[in-house]
Amino acid sequence: MSRIDVNKTYKLFIGGAFPRSESGRVYEVKGANKKFIANPAMASRKDLRESVVAAKSAFHGWANATAFNRGQVLYRIAEIMQGRSEQFVEEICALEGVSNKAAKSQVEETIDTWVWYSGWCDKLSAISGSLNQVSGPFYNFTTPEPLGVVAVFAENKPSLLGAVRTLAPVISSGNTAILIASEKYPLPAITLSEVLATSDLPSGVVNVLTGKISELASWIASHMEIDGVDVAGLSKSEEEELKLHGADNLKRVFRFTNRNHPERILSFMEQKTVWHPIGI
Amino acid sequence: MSDFEYANAPESKAIAKISQSYDLFIGGKFIKPKKGKSFNTINPATEEVLAKIAYADELDIDIAVSHAKLAYTKVWSKLPAKERGKYLYRIARILQERAREFAVVETLDNGKPIRESRDTDIPLAAAHFFYHAGWADKLEYAGLGNKPKSLGVVGQIIPWNFPLLMLAWKIAPALATGNTVVLKPAETTPLTALLFAEVCQQAGLPDGVVNIVTGDGITGAALVNHPDINKIAFTGSTEVGKSIARSISATKKSATLELGGKAANIVFEDAAVDEAVEGIVNGIFFNQGHVCCAGSRLLLQENIMDEVLEKLKKRMSLIRVGDPMDKNTDLGAINSLEQLRRIKDLASTGDSEGANRWSPECKLPTKGYWFAPTIFTGVSQSHRIAREEIFGPVLSVLTFRTPAEAIEKANNTMYGLSAGIWSDKGSKILWAAKQLKAGVIWSNTFNKFDPASPFGGYKESGWGREGGRHGLAGYLTSDAKVSK
């Protein structure tokens, strides 16, 4: 008789802990072969609120960490992912039904994405800040600062890479984030949160929710303490709806091309200009 | 201080040749609105009618946008960038040549002291064109992508507090980056924008590159909702800014929004008090407090409160309120009856909620709209005068004990446009500047503006920046973003 596998319970990731949804709701995820894989949590509005509380309380520490420190943490995430590559490859194969080779290349690209954004952390004011030549005896400089709490909707596919290319740029600058996993392929995002939990990333900097995208989108749109949204995983009509209600607190809402780009970081930053007189 | 009188020093009105009526400036010509409607613009210091202004409705907006679109596709987008820049240089020079005339018209229409329109508004407006003229053929070096492209037709809506300066903040970057413009000035201050239309003619700017449509909020909404507008640039209230954000939520239009503020002006115990008092006065009484970035919440460290307030009151009693055309005047007229009512209403909530009002003795003219410089002490964070933008010469005074408390209170607002810091300790200033959630931080100074210095807000004070390299981004295509 062969051994029975010990299956994983896929839970949410909020404030560094792995709770089930407070609502008790789950939904069934099947593999490409139509067989049952898991019952991940279907996050509720309260789960979202808890995530915002966690993200908000983590913001000050993460935003004020040195950029060098943030860069090292992002690099550490890449290191830990490298060691767990096999697990991600298996998960992606089972879910997306892609070849082992394709899954492996997705995982590798994801790891490299962390490395790429790790390197950006301490170069943001070099490319987007300025010392401004004003007409008068003033020292005047502009420097980018993180926006606050940003929600990112991962694309449906590629399930792991789609999550990381929205998430990594957002947290590299010092924002804290709520990652909404792909509804159809949510499992790699949850496994990613296990990596994040063991990579020196402070609790609450990233929170991961799984569930119904349309529900979560409307709750995120109207939440007054979410400052920005990457709508990669939303349909056009869901994006329009989110922008309409997001206007209540003037959320910064963007959709990007698939490329990694520093604009994905800078769009979720604010430019601060400081004046001081020069004189004796 | 009645023993220290100033003789009158009135600026002459003769230089301002204001016509009896003005049409819409569309396609390089002044044309009548389709329905022939009009409204009056008045001098808020005297309530005299200055001119009859054409009222643009949806039909007129449609004509203006079609001219702007034609000018974009046929002329402006094909012009070499170097030549585009030269038009902007011409405009800057003509504004400098006609500066005195513009200053007088601005003061008559707006009510601001001639000293401010002459020394701040008009020179800065000219400087904005000169600065952006230089960018026109250097955009590929701006770090905004290899081949940044213009967006097309930009709809621009500006407020009444700095009429020509706000026009310059909007039109200069839009044209430098290769866009064409339909601009709606504020209902109560259309004159310098119409005078600017003449400048465009004198500069030989191709027809339709700049179109000026006058009217009210309905005119503005028609502009925002026109399908051929590619981008909206708006300066005004947060409420209207949000409604614009909603209006464009299901479109490809992008927007930059410069909205309201409730800036904290923080005075630490180690500040140079006399300089801080000057900064407090400049922060809230410059331009009658009709400034989105005004330092309207004074946060005083508790142990220096008495000293600062005593000096502040003494300084306030020297503020000369009255005829804006007098070169000695510090505080001019409130821009409109509507705004005066809003200031009075909000100030009265200060009384009813338990704060203490103080104003120096000052004689206000009998005609026109006036409000004495006012401070409220004993203000708590929940008072409406500590939370809402008054947009008038009214200062709310709060106190704090520790630097951390100052930051906490300063950031306790939905706004995030500007803030002030007064301290003689460099490390404290830089610490506070970092903690404050605001787009512009003035340390040991206040209300300084420059075309090279990006301006704009955090949180509900808006989207994007205007001025500097950063201000160009709002008028150019992006390498990485998808516009729906």
Joined together, the tokens standing for residue A244 give: 């309409």
Tens digit of each residue's pLDDT (9 = 90 or more) over A83-97: 999 999 999 999 999
The answer on B240 and B136 residing in a single domain is yes
Q: Point out the residue among B416, B453, B478 whose CB comes nearest to the CB of A140.
A: B453
C-beta of residue B476 within 8 angstroms of C-beta of residue B177:
yes
A36 at interface of B, judged by CB pairs closer than 8 A? no
User: CA-based angle A87:A91:A96, to the nearest 5?
Assistant: 150
Q: Give the amino acid at B328.
A: N
Residue A237 included in any domain: yes
Q: Which residue of B has its CA nearest to A263?
A: B480
Residue A222 included in any domain: yes
Joined together, the tokens standing for residue B316 give: 């306030």
Residue A243 included in any domain: yes
Q: Give start and end residues of each alpha helix (H) in B317-357.
A: 337-352
Q: What residue numbers bound the domain in which B331 lies?
A: 264-450
A126 at interface of B, judged by CB pairs closer than 8 A? no
* Of B169, B196, B153, nearest in space to B61 by CA: B153
Query: Which residues share a beta bridge with B31?
Result: B24
Q: Point out the residue among A243, A263, A270 whose CB comes nearest to the CB of B479.
A: A263
Looking up residue A112, the CATH number of its domain turns out to be: 3.40.605.10
State the nearest Cα–Cα gap between B236 and chain A, in angstroms.
14
CB contact under 8 A, A275 and B442: yes
Domain count, chain A: 1
Joined together, the tokens standing for residue A120 give: 């950006």
Q: What residue numbers bound the domain in which A175 lies?
A: 29-277
Looking up residue B204, the CATH number of its domain turns out to be: 3.40.605.10
* Of B416, B453, B65, B81, nearest in space to B231 by CA: B65
Strand segments (E) across B158-272: 180-184, 210-212, 231-235, 254-258, 264-267
Residue B12 included in any domain: no
Whole-model pTM: value is: 0.97
- A residues 205-234 closer than 8 Å to B (CB): 227
Residue B131 included in any domain: yes
The answer on B233 and B131 residing in a single domain is yes
Residue B273 included in any domain: yes
* Of B125, B103, B124, nearest in space to B115 by CA: B103
pLDDT at A157 over 60: yes
The answer on B315 and B248 residing in a single domain is no
* Burial category of B427 from C-beta neighbours within 10 Å (exposed 0-12, middle 13-18, buried 19 and up): exposed
pLDDT, residue B1, reads 47
The answer on B232 and B198 residing in a single domain is yes
Looking up residue B412, the CATH number of its domain turns out to be: 3.40.309.10
B470 contacts on A by Cβ (under 8 Å):
128, 130, 142, 271
* Burial category of B146 from C-beta neighbours within 10 Å (exposed 0-12, middle 13-18, buried 19 and up): exposed
Residue B181 included in any domain: yes
Determine the distance from the C-alpha atom of residue B239 to the mean position of all C-alpha atoms in its chain, rounded to a whole number.
16
The answer on B99 and B237 residing in a single domain is yes
CB contact under 8 A, B249 and A276: no
Joined together, the tokens standing for residue B279 give: 């900064």
Tens digit of each residue's pLDDT (9 = 90 or more) over A95-137: 999 999 999 999 999 999 999 999 999 999 999 999 999 999 9
The answer on B285 and B195 residing in a single domain is no
A274 contacts on B by Cβ (under 8 Å):
433, 441, 443
Q: Which residues, including other chains, have CB under 8 Å from residue B345's CB and lie 6 or more apart?
A: none
The answer on B387 and B316 residing in a single domain is yes
Residue B4 included in any domain: no
B387-405: buried (b, 16+ CB within 10 Å) or exposed (e) per residue?
ebbbbbbbbbbbbbeebee
Residue B368 included in any domain: yes
Output DSSP code: residue B55.
Answer: P
pLDDT at A70 over 80: yes
Determine the distance from the C-alpha atom of residue A166 to the mean position of all C-alpha atoms in its chain, rounded to a whole number.
6
Tens digit of each residue's pLDDT (9 = 90 or more) over A177-202: 999 999 999 999 999 999 999 999 99
B465 contacts on A by Cβ (under 8 Å):
271
Residue with token string 């209540």: A248
Give the phi and the psi of residue B212 in degrees, each rounded to 5: -115, 120
DSSP secondary structure of A222-268: H-TT--EEE-TTS-HHHHHHHHHHHGGGT-EEE-B-SS--HHHHHTT
d(CA A159, CA B97): 62
The answer on B336 and B297 residing in a single domain is yes
Residue B295 included in any domain: yes
State the nearest Cα–Cα gap between A159 and chain B, in angstroms.
20
d(CA A50, CA B216): 44
* Of B176, B186, B155, nearest in space to B69 by CA: B155
CB contact under 8 A, B453 and A273: yes
CB contact under 8 A, A276 and B444: yes
Catalytic residues of B: 258, 292
pLDDT, residue B392, reads 98
The answer on B122 and B49 residing in a single domain is yes
- The neighbour count for residue B412, using CB atoms within 10 Å, is 15
Residue B1 included in any domain: no
Joined together, the tokens standing for residue B320 give: 């000369």
Q: Can the peptide bond before residue A144 be classed as cis, meaning omega within 30 degrees of 0? A: no
The answer on B351 and B393 residing in a single domain is yes
Render each residue's pLDDT in chain B as its tens digit; 484 residues: 456 678 999 999 999 999 999 999 999 999 999 999 999 999 999 999 999 999 999 999 999 999 999 999 999 999 999 999 999 999 999 999 999 999 999 999 999 999 999 999 999 999 999 999 999 999 999 999 888 999 999 999 999 999 999 999 999 999 999 999 999 999 999 999 999 999 999 999 999 999 999 999 999 999 999 999 999 999 999 999 999 999 999 999 999 999 999 999 999 999 999 999 999 999 999 999 999 999 999 999 999 999 999 999 999 999 999 999 999 999 999 999 999 999 999 999 999 999 999 999 999 999 999 999 999 999 999 999 999 999 999 999 999 999 999 999 999 999 999 999 999 999 999 999 999 999 999 999 999 999 999 999 999 999 999 999 999 999 999 989 987 5
pLDDT, residue B3, reads 60
The answer on B76 and B219 residing in a single domain is yes
Domain count, chain B: 2
The answer on B374 and B317 residing in a single domain is yes
